[in-house]
Amino acid sequence: MRLQPGLDGNERSIDPASLAVAARSKALRPMLVIAAGLVVLLISCVFSLHSGNFDGSVGDTRNAVFHYQSNDSFRQIVWELRLPRMLAAAAVGACLAVSGALMQGLTRNPLADPSILGVTQGSTLAMALGLAFAPALSNYSLMFISFIGAGVGVGFVILIGMFSRNGMTPVRLLLAGMAMGTLLGSLATAIAIHYDVARILAFWFAGGVAGVSWNQLEALLPAFVIGVVLAMLLARSVTLISLDECTAQGLGANLTLIRIGGAIAVLLLTGAAVSIAGAISFAGLLVPHLCRKLVGYDYRYMIPGAAVFGALLLVVCDIFTRMIYPPYETPVSVLTAIVGAPVLLYIARRQRS
């Protein structure tokens, strides 16, 4: 048995057999937590359908969803505007959270998050280029471009990891990621200012699911499904890697393949999320942290947990964007920051000096 520091700084004994036993006997608790999360998520979804400027009672909302008739304007609003928006919020939240969980596991760095490692900025740069040179693109094309941008970001992170095999400490990886993020973000801003698309791009930077259409959701769905499925397939390997790379390798895990698979999953998830909702901060950083406390270190529960709680975070924040200052909307990144920052501060202050 070996003592190794885990992601929270505490030492754990790593013995594969005991790990398996422990996992099985604790399977119940994470599943209960995830189920509870799902319930809260469903309740929030109902709230989300109910909030908006156009007034209607709860009964109206229920009728709107279940007895859709195209000639009633309230029902149309619920179906055309609020329902896709709610689904998009849930999907984007899930995408970002799962993406963050994967990154934290694969880089063994609890501060990893798609925006800290430059993945989000890569998508934003791609969007900036798209808006500057080919503004009237279809949703599928925009998403594709966003994927490419996210891919560039992920690709560089992987490359840097590969090239400095011996000396790549987590901190150095973080440094490289930050540099990459700054570079791509600055390029995006420079292009935006020069080609006069800065104001539109600001909406992307601010992030939000307002105005999402069914078309856009259709484009999001395949990426979301493939990304999550891929993540689940990798889950066991990522768990091992996140705890101790050498053991993982010893158990037959092909590190390179897993890293590439993880990169593809992150690419799909982040690319899709950014192309629909812009750059939303904190979801990918915070939700995995909380999930670790709630469902443990096993990625087979972490990934669904991240998906559920990520969706919950974003749906709730989206509700508040409409409730804070009606009839105006507050951009969602303010809310994720308001929710996320105190949690992060709390985590920071609880650490031993």
Binding to other proteins (CB under 8 A): which residues in 27-56? 52-55
3-state helix, strand, coil in the chain (%, to 5): 75, 5, 20
Helix (H) or strand (E) holding 270: helix 255-277
CA distance 176 to 117: 8
Least distance in angstroms from the C-beta of 27 to other proteins: 32
Which listed range, 26-34, 227-235, 254-262, 334-342, lies at the site for other proteins (CB under 8 A)? 334-342
Name beta bridge partners: 13. Answer: 3
Count of Cβ atoms closer than 10 Å to residue 229 Cβ: 11
* Residue 213 interacts with other proteins (CB under 8 A): yes or no: yes
Lay out the site mask for other proteins across 251-270 (x = CB under 8 A, - = otherwise). --------------------
Question: With CB under 8 A as the contact rule, which of the stretches 25-33, 235-243, 305-313, 344-352 interacts with other proteins?
Answer: 344-352
End-to-end Cα distance, the chain: 29
Q: Is 196 exposed, middle or buried (0-12, 13-18, 19+ CB in 10 A)?
A: exposed
**Does 333 help bind other proteins (rule: CB under 8 A)?**
yes
Counting Cβ atoms within 10 Å, is residue 136 exposed (0-12), middle (13-18) or buried (19+)?
exposed
In the bound complex, what is the minimum distance in angstroms from residue 23's beta carbon to other proteins?
Answer: 30
Report the residue number, 24 or 165, with the smaller CB distance to other proteins.
165
Residue 136 in contact with other proteins, rule: CB under 8 A? yes
Candidate list 24, 67, 165, 199; residue touching other proteins; CB under 8 A? 199
- CB of 118 vs other proteins, minimal distance in Å: 10
Nearer to other proteins, 224 or 282 (CB): 282
Amino acid at 115: S
180 sits near other proteins (criterion: CB under 8 A)? yes
Helix axes 119-133, 255-277, angle to 10 degrees: 50
**Residue 10 contacts other proteins per CB under 8 A:** no
